[in-house]
Each structure stands twice: as C-alpha cells, then as structure tokens.
C-alpha cells in the first residue's frame, strides 16, 4: 500500500462550457473567487465534482458494466450506486464493516470513489482536485505545485474567456408541415442562445491523490483516465456540438501499463463475487405494513417477526 | 471479455511542461517600457499616415472604423511578425491604390519607422497595435488633424 499523487495538465481542444447557471438565454461558465494582489477575481475553473465523475467514475464503471456483461441486468438503484455514487434512502443507517471490507476487495474503483448504499455511506480514498486555469491569477496556487512555473507574468484569466452563439431554427421555414387546425402551432421555434466558454488552448492543472492504496487501485484510476481520453476527454456541457474536449497530460506518472494490466486481470477474476456482493447489498425484503388493533397487541399470531417468533416459542416451551 | 485497450494518455516531463506553460506568458511582461513609448509612437505614426492612402472608393465617413477593422483583420493574418505582410493586409483592408501609396511620402516615412523595430519585437508590435488599437487611433486622428492643419497653413 502506498499513496500516489498524479498531477495532470489538460489542454482545451475545443471551447470548454463548464457552466454554473444561466442569465436569460446566456450560459455562464463556472468561476471561483481567487484572491490576488488586485483584489478578488473570478477565474474560470473545472469543478472537482465534474472531473471526478467524467474522468474517473463514469468511464471506469461503464467499462466494468460492459466487461462483466451486466447490461440490462442491474436494477436502477445499483446503477445509480455505480455510476453516480448512490444515496442514503433508509432511515436506519448502520455500519457493516464486513460489507465494506468485501467491497474494497472486490471493487478497486469503488475503494477509490466510495459511494452510498441505501443504508450505509462508504468513504473513498481518492481526492480529486478541481481544475485550475493556468493564468496570472492562479500563480500562487500553482507555483508550489508545478516544478517549473514561469517567472514571467502570465496572461490574465479573462484573456481565456470567450463566447459562443448558436441558433435553433424553425421547421416551418421549409414549408413541409401539415396545415395547423388552429393557431397553436404557429409560434416560431427560432431561438438564439449564447454563452461563455473557456478558449481553445487554455490549460487546466488538476490532479488526483490516492491515499494508502494498492497498485491495482492505482491501475483502476489510470484505466479510467485512459478510457476518458479515448472517448474525447470531455468535460462540461455541449459535447454534442463539439465543446468540452480536453487533452490530458500526465506529469511523470511512472509506469502506466503495468498497473492497468494488473487491474484488468484482477477484475476478471473477482467478477462473480463482485456481482454477488452487489445483489446482496441491494437486496431488501418486502416492507410489511405496521399492524393495527388486535394484531398490534398480539391478539392472534401477531406480526411476523423472527425475533418475536423465537421469543414466543421460548415462552411457549417454558409454559408447557 | 477482452477489449483492446486504447492508447494511454500523453505523458510529459518537467521540460515539456515548462514549454507548455511558456506559451501562456504575457508577451508584454518584459517589454512594458518599450510598449509604452517606442511601440506606441510607431503605432500612432503608422495609423496617422493611413488616411493619406485611404481608398477613394470607400466612404470617407468610415475612415477610422475601416482602419480599425483592417488592423484587426491584418493581425489575424500574420503570425510570424512579418511587418510587410501586416502592412499589405491593412492597405488591402482600406482599399489603398498602389499608385497612391507609392506616391505618398508621409506613408513612406511611416513605413521606414516601422522597419526600425527589431525582428524579435515585430510580432509583439503587431500584437500591441491590435490590443491597443482604439487609444492608438484616437492619438493618430489627432496627429492626422495636426498634419492637415500644417498643410493648410502652408
């Protein structure tokens, strides 16, 4: 077991539209406040949440589902757990260390990411940094991190901000539609929409810290990053129209092929046990309605409770 | 299931990272003084000479707007500090007639001044003019009007 720190530099190959909201029809990119000598400045960034999902969880888990031939065989709660971290849905949460240990053994990627079973939160061992735009405003953040940060002044953050504008057209212009029985279909579908983006060529520094993990778990992260890049390395929105492509550069990561190969070999070996673990973790007996009236007071057989049944049997044996 | 593994992400070392980051340096950072004096002076003189060769086919009312847009277009067309190509693009933008340019002493002087810029600084000068074009044109207009007043006084 050891800790790994993987520093990455990702270059924007297309406009990055990692949005934080809208103002009217305009999409606004996510920015974070950075304290600089000239005051607080809002600088575009990539959230750790987005990077964690897009670059690690989604590609790794989708591969797992495909590799283990589980497409169409998993319930939605299980898929939400694997692909989105799940959520705590039961009121009686409890700690099951045996279940945690089994998960760590069977799912190297889940050991990194953690998640939430219906009644248990599982911590992960991966810290995913937010992506910092390389600019003059992030000099203090990045100087200690990167071994060769330039001494010369960099361009300010706003030089890397750009805009885009697209149009959604109206089919009525082609005059192919049937006559409308009333005026309800005459409204134009035309809409101009626009937004902000981070410009092509911008650089983001981000990273991953894996605390006390095995080489197989490191391989799980590297494998996810490889898959992410192979699928375009997208982040943020509008990937369907060409936005969001990042080219990932790993800064001196050491051996890549070895850990990935060991990870893939391992998950092939534990497949059956891992699937069984998933089924058991999400298997819930049908909930029984609370009893009322005589039944609630145990007037007849009473509610079907194994502990209560054992108690009644013991009392009955004692009485006889 | 055996799936062919895609190629791994690009791996870089410290030197490669240094080169990537160098591309983000502010080109004006080490030339602040030069920018504020010499580059500015040359830019103003160059722009103040352009009305002398402004195309007769264009509406004179669009003089400064046309010069401004020509500078922007020329900047986009030149990436290697080629001053002559930059000047050519600007002249094409304002539809200057070759004969008129050749006959214009004022423009010839401005061009000579342009060529006093060191080769290493030429792209930076082009960038300076593009990024400061409106304040430069304000001063260029004042210089042009001063020139017209001098001509009228003679």
pLDDT tens for residues A117-176?
Answer: 888 888 899 999 999 999 999 998 898 888 788 888 888 898 899 988 898 888 877 878
Angle between helices A76-84 and A271-282 (to 10 degrees): 110
- The predicted structure's pLDDT at residue A38: 80
pLDDT at B29: 67
How far, in Å, CA of B72 to CA of B76, rounded?
6
Low-confidence ranges of chain A (pLDDT < 50): 288, 298-320
**In this complex, which of B5, B16, B29 lies closest to A260 when CB atoms are compared?**
B5
How is residue A283 written in tokens?
Answer: 């298997």
Whole-angstrom CA distances from B55 to B8, B64, B73, B103, B110 are: 56, 12, 17, 14, 18
Q: Where is average pLDDT lowest: A139-153, A242-256, B27-41, B53-67?
A: B27-41
Q: How would residue B137 be classed by pLDDT, with cut points 50, 70 and 90?
A: very high
Percent of chain B with pLDDT over 70: 94
SS3 B38: helix
Query: For chain A, which residues lie within 8 Å of any Cβ of chain B, measuring from their own Cβ?
Result: 9, 11, 63, 66-67, 69, 134-136, 146-150, 152-156, 201, 203, 222, 225-227, 229-230, 247-253, 256-257, 260, 264
Beta bridge partners of A164: A195
In a mutational test of the B interface, the residue from A157, A224, A249 whose CB has the highest number of chain B CBs within 10 Å is A249
Supply the pLDDT for residue A290. 54
Which of the pair, A174 or B92, is modelled with greater confidence?
A: B92
Query: What is the model's pLDDT at position A313?
Result: 46
Q: What is the pLDDT of residue A302?
A: 45
Q: State residue B33's pLDDT score.
A: 67
Distance CA B122, CA B43 (A): 12
pLDDT at B100 over 70: yes
Q: pTM of the predicted model, to two decimals?
A: 0.74
Question: Which has more confidence, B75 or A189?
Answer: B75
């Amino acid at each position: 077991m050891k800790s790994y720190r993987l520093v990455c530099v990702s270059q924007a190959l297309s406009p990055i539209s990692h949005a934080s909201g809208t103002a009217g029809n305009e999409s606004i990119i996510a920015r974070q406040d950075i304290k600089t000598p000239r005051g607080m400045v809002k600088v575009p960034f990539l959230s750790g949440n987005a990077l964690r999902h897009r670059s690690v969880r989604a590609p790794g888990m989708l591969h797992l589902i495909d590799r283990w031939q589980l497409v169409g065989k998993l319930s939605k709660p299980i898929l939400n757990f694997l692909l989105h971290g799940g959520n705590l849905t039961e009121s009686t949460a409890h700690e099951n260390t045996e279940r945690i240990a089994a998960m760590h053994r069977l799912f190297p990627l889940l050991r990194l990411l953690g998640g939430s079973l219906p009644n248990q939160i599982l911590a992960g061992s991966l810290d995913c940094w937010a992506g910092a735009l390389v600019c003059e405003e992030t000099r203090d953040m990045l100087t200690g991190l990167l071994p060769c940060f330039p001494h010369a002044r960099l361009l300010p953050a706003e030089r890397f901000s750009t805009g885009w504008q697209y149009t959604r057209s109206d089919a009525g212009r082609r005059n192919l539609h049937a006559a409308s029985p009333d005026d309800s279909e005459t409204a134009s579908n035309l809409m101009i929409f626009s937004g902000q983006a981070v410009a092509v060529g911008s650089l983001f520094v981000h990273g991953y810290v894996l605390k006390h993990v095995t080489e197989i778990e490191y391989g799980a992260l590297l494998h996810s990053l490889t898959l992410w890049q192979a699928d375009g390395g997208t982040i943020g929105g509008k990937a369907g129209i060409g936005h969001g492509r990042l080219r990932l550069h790993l800064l001196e990561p050491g051996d890549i092929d070895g850990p990935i190969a060991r990870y893939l070999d391992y998950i092939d070996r534990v497949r059956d046990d891992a699937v069984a673990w998933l089924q058991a973790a999400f298997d819930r007996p049908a909930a029984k309605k609370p009893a009322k009236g005589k039944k609630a007071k145990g007037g007849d057989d009473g509610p079907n409770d194994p502990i209560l049944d054992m108690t009644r049997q013991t009392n009955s044996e004692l009485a006889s | 299931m055996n799936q062919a593994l895609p190629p791994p992400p690009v791996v870089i070392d410290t030197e490669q990272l240094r080169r990537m980051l160098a591309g983000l340096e502010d080109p004006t950072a080490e030339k602040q003084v030069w920018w504020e004096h010499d580059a500015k002076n040359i830019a103003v003189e160059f722009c103040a000479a352009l009305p002398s060769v402004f195309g007769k086919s264009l509406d004179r009312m669009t003089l400064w707007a046309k010069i401004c847009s020509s500078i922007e277009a020329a900047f986009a067309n030149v990436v290697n500090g080629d001053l002559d190509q930059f000047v050519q693009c600007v002249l094409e933008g304002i539809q200057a007639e070759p004969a008129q340019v050749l006959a214009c002493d004022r423009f010839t002087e401005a061009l000579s001044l342009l060529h006093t810029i060191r080769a290493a600084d030429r792209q930076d000068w082009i960038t300076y003019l593009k990024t400061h074009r409106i304040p430069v044109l304000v001063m260029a207009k004042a210089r042009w009007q001063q020139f017209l007043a001098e001509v009228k006084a003679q």
